[in-house]
């Protein structure tokens, strides 16, 4: 745990150093091109936020990679060692040191700083972008145990993913089967209530207040039995019965309005019933 924290701290410092060197090269290049200092600082100010966000995302990914247990040592016998990790993290500092050595005897502070910044940039690019991927590829190509273990691990990951998919499909099938079973049970159980509601909608001269009270009682009972799904099933049955009894004339759907507020049922505007 302590070693991981140390590596994270070193990598944070090296990344900040790398960004500072790149920023120095960028600002110095603009100034040498004849851009006024106030323009340079304006551009740097706008770019600082973008650089900060990018570096934050990068560090998050790197820290996840350092602390992750997915980097199996048998697959990465070299790059998983603490010595290689230290070399990788200190790449910008090594580049800065190389730049210092390469600018010995150079006159001018700006040229010295430019040499250090260029050394940091070139070395970091080579270590992080070229050397590290090449070494990782060589580990997989040269070491037979690495290839075998990686193949087995990927096969296990694929098998686990397929198992989870099958489990999800099984659970979905069970849910759908239960819903179908519930609907069949509700249709048998609530047939008399559906007949009553259909009679309230298709009969002439019905007392609306009495019909509403009766419909509310039936809807509340359906809600207690099976919630919103049961109420929908009952309403669909009412629509079917009304269509059978009055195929040539439309029937106003008062049920959805009468049931408004029962459980999670929300009524809609009155409309003519149609087949669901």
Q: Is the pLDDT of residue 97 over 60?
A: yes
> Which of 238, 207, 226, 236 has the alpha carbon at shortest distance from 264?
226
Q: Is the pLDDT of residue 73 over 80?
A: no
pLDDT for the residue numbered 66: 46
pLDDT for the residue numbered 65: 46
Q: What is the spatial distance between Cα 193 and Cα 225, in angstroms, rounded to a whole number?
A: 13
Cβ neighbors of 55 (< 8 A, separation 6 or more) are 15, 19
How many beta carbons lie within 10 A of that of residue 245, not counting itself?
Answer: 15
Average pLDDT over the chain, rounded to an integer: 79
Distances (CA, A) of 255 to 121, 189, 190, 204, 220: 74, 19, 15, 16, 12
CB-side exposure of 44: number of CA atoms within 13 Å? 19
Determine the average pLDDT of the residues in 51-80. Answer: 58
pLDDT for the residue numbered 161: 93
pLDDT for the residue numbered 220: 92
Q: Which helix (H) or strand (E) covers residue 64, if one does?
A: helix 37-67
Alpha helix positions (H), 103-190: 109-125, 132-142, 144-189
Q: What is the spatial distance between Cα 95 and Cα 89, in angstroms, rounded to a whole number?
A: 11
Kindly state the DSSP code that residue 126 receives in the 8-state scheme: I
Distances (CA, A) of 62 to 4, 58, 107, 131, 149: 12, 6, 38, 17, 23
Q: Is the pLDDT of residue 273 over 60?
A: no
Name the residue with higher pLDDT: 52 or 19: 19
Give the position of tokens 């140390």.
6
Determine the average pLDDT of the residues in 38-58. Answer: 53
């Amino acid at each position: 745990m302590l070693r991981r924290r140390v590596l994270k701290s070193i990598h944070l410092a090296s990344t900040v150093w790398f960004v500072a060197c790149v920023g120095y090269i960028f600002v110095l290049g603009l100034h040498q091109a004849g851009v006024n200092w106030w323009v340079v600082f304006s551009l740097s100010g706008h770019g600082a936020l973008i650089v900060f966000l990018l570096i934050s995302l990068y560090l998050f990914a790197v820290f996840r990679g350092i602390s992750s247990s997915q980097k199996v040592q048998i697959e990465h016998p070299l790059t998983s060692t603490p010595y290689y990790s230290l070399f990788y993290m200190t790449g910008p500092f090594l580049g800065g040191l190389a730049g210092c050595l390469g600018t010995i005897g150079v006159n001018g502070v700006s040229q010295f700083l430019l040499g250090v910044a260029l050394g940091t940039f070139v070395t970091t690019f080579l270590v992080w972008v070229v050397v590290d991927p090449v070494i990782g590829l060589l580990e997989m190509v040269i070491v037979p145990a690495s290839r075998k273990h990686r193949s087995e691990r990927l096969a296990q990951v694929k098998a686990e993913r397929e198992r989870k998919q099958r489990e999800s499909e099984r659970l979905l099938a069970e849910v759908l089967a239960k819903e179908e079973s519930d609907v069949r049970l509700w249709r048998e159980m609530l047939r008399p209530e559906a007949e009553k509601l259909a009679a309230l909608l298709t009969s002439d001269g019905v007392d609306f207040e009495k019909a509403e009270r009766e419909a509310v009682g039936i809807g509340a009972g359906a809600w207690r039995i099976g919630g919103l799904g049961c109420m929908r099933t009952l309403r669909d049955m009412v629509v079917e019965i009304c269509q059978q009894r009055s195929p040539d004339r439309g029937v106003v759907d008062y049920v959805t309005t009468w049931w408004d507020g029962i459980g999670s049922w929300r009524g809609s505007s009155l409309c003519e019933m149609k087949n669901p």
